[in-house]
Amino acid sequence: MKYKSVVVTKIGGPEVLRVMEKDLRPPLVGEARIKILASAVCQPDITVRNGKSLYSGTPLGHKVPFTPGYAIIGIVDAVGEGVTAVAVGDRVGALTVIGGYSEYLYWRGDLLIPVPTTLDPAEAVPLILNYIVAYQVLHRSAKVKNGDKVLIIGASGGIGTAFLQLGRLANLKMYGLASPSKHHVLASYGATPIDYHTQDFVEVIRQAEPDGLDAVFDGMMSMDSIKRALPLLRRGGKLVSYGEPAGLVTLFRVLLTLIMVNLLPNGKSFKFYGTSTYFLFDQKPYLEDWAELFKLLDQGKIKPIIAQKFPIEEAAKANALLESGQVTGNVVLVAPEGS
Ligand SMILES: NC(=O)c1ccc[n+]([C@@H]2O[C@H](COP(=O)([O-])OP(=O)(O)OC[C@H]3O[C@@H](n4cnc5c(N)ncnc54)[C@H](OP(=O)(O)O)[C@@H]3O)[C@@H](O)[C@H]2O)c1
């Protein structure tokens, strides 16, 4: 039997994504085979495809051909010898980093995330990446408190809208940078929108919050956003950058700034946040936080904004949409109903 998988055939735009057929084989020792129900379409899928990820062109980068797709939800449909953590029929998620744009996935049985069957897979799949980033930046990196005043740089995207929903639950006073066409979404979660194209966010926040902000969440990781955001923090304030830097030079400059900020006796702190690498070393906090996020979704306390769903084989169209910058929230690939 064959299954379909979307493959990056060469580095380039969405058009390089091609649907290919692969042989469905039994899982190897320690592996589970997962029938994918939903796959997230995320910014890191785009940067890895167009050769602009931090690792592109380095020995750590992915060599073409490869299947992108950072996060999935599916059903275990076969397990290899030695797999005890999951069984056939279990609903699971995986932080794949690559491999998610596919009808089937082979994955280590001990690295799967339990997912309640009550949840719609398309609604739950943004929790695997975009929401865990926002949740952990809020509650593990910045450790926000009731009433904290925060700025979200990149508030209308997949992670930004997760911040808005989780920030509202944590009772934060939120300011968010976004294009004007998306301001109504920020306002609907109680955030004050700022148009970063025409307004100087530094001026707006200085006037609104003369005592400074408790935290800034930065999805750009550019020297510009960081240099402008740091003076907005009050003493004891925290800047957390979770964006993907434009290249190694930017990363190096931002890293030097981080070291300096943390050494200076000004009471401010600056942290980086990155998901996937840490997950491999210590799964416990991730499993706890995903369980909490699934509970919040089940209780209707959060509801990912799904801008559009596409069949898995239309991943190129889904990538083009996310890359267009028109999306508010998340783009998701789904398996056909009843397949
Ligand atoms: N650390 C991690 O583990 C991790 C995981 C996943 C993703 N990421 C990174 O996090 C970043 C955000 O991801 P995402 O999924 O939220 O992306 P997304 O859904 O594409 O959203 C990007 C956002 O950036 C905003 N934006 C663009 N230029 C801006 C500027 N100059 N100033 C302020 N906002 C600007 C856009 O706003 P408008 O459309 O409103 O203009 C949009 O809301 C990316 O760099 C991604 O690679 C990190």
* Residue 12 confidence (pLDDT) above 90: yes
The sign of the dihedral angle between the CA atoms of 78, 85, 116, 43 is negative
The residues pairing with 104 across neighbouring beta strands, listed in sequence order, are 35
User: What residue ranges do the domains of the chain occupy?
Assistant: 2-115+306-334, 128-272
DSSP label at residue 51:
T
CA 215 to chain CA mean position, Å: 19
- Classified as helix, coil or strand, 329 is coil
Q: Does residue 179 have its Cβ closer than 6 Å to ligand 1? A: yes
User: Does residue 328 line the site of ligand 1, with CB under 6 A?
Assistant: no
So what's the pLDDT on residue 339? 66
State the pLDDT at residue 110.
94
**Among the listed residues 149, 148, 171, 174, the one whose alpha carbon sits nearest the alpha carbon of residue 161:** 174
Q: Is the dihedral of CA 241, 245, 249, 250 positive or negative?
A: negative
Q: Is the minimum distance from the CB of 133 to ligand 1 under 6 angstroms?
A: yes
Nearest CA to ligand 1 atom 19: 157
Please give the Cα distance from 118 to 93 (Å, whole number).
Answer: 14
Cis peptide before 65 (omega within 30 of 0): yes
Q: Which residue has the tokens 């089940």?
A: 298
pLDDT, residue 266, reads: 83
Q: What pLDDT, on a 0 to 100 scale, did the predictor assign at position 282?
A: 85
Provide the 3-class DSSP secondary structure of residue 106.
strand
Consecutive H or E run containing 309: strand 306-311
Q: Which atom of ligand 1 is nearest to the CA of 46?
A: 47
Mean pLDDT for all residues in the chain? 95
Q: How large is the average pLDDT for residues 309-338?
A: 95
Question: Which of 221, 231, 218 lies closest to 268, judged by CA?
Answer: 231
Query: Model confidence over 22-74: pLDDT tens digits?
Result: 999 999 999 999 999 999 999 999 999 998 887 777 777 788 999 999 999 99
Amino acid symbol at 169: L
Res. 11: pLDDT tops 90 = yes
Instruction: Give the pLDDT score at 311.
Output: 98
Question: What's the pLDDT band for 277 if we cut at 50, 70, 90?
Answer: low
- What pTM did the predictor assign? 0.96
254 vs 126: CA distance, rounded Å: 28
Task: Please report, for residues 46, 127, 277, the alpha-carbon distance to residue 282 in angstroms, rounded to integers and kept in the order given.
Answer: 27, 18, 9
User: Is the beta carbon of 109 within 6 A of some atom in ligand 1?
Assistant: no
Say which residues have a Cβ less than 8 Å from residue 300's Cβ, sequence separation at least 6.
none
- Decide: 141 in ligand 1 pocket, CB within 6 A: no
The answer on pLDDT for 291 being more than 90 is yes
* DSSP summary character for residue 312: G
Structure confidence at residue 75 (pLDDT)? 98
Which residue is closest in CA terms to ligand 1's atom 29? 154
Nearest in space to 312 (alpha carbons), one of 91, 53, 125, 63: 125
Pocket test of ligand 1: the residue of 244, 277, 278 to mutate, having most ligand atoms within 8 Å of its CB, is: 244
Residue 321 CB–ligand 1 contact under 6 Å: no
**227-273, pLDDT tens digit by residue?**
999 999 999 999 999 999 988 899 999 999 999 999 988 889 999 99
Residue 201: CB partners within 8 Å, gap ≥ 6?
Answer: 151, 175, 177, 194, 228
Pick the CATH number of 128-272 from 3.40.50.720, 3.40.640.10, 3.90.640.10, 3.90.180.10: 3.40.50.720
Pair 173, 148: CB distance under 8 Å: yes
Q: Ligand 1 centroid to 220 CA: how many Å?
A: 6
Average pLDDT score over residue span 282-308: 96
CB 157 within 8 A of CB 217: no
Residue type, 329: G
Look at the domain 2-115+306-334 and name its fold.
Quinone Oxidoreductase; Chain A, domain 1 (3.90.180)
Which atom of ligand 1 is nearest to 47's Cα?
47
CA–CA separation, 172 and 123 (whole Å): 24
Q: Is 160 in the pocket of ligand 1 (CB under 6 A)?
A: yes
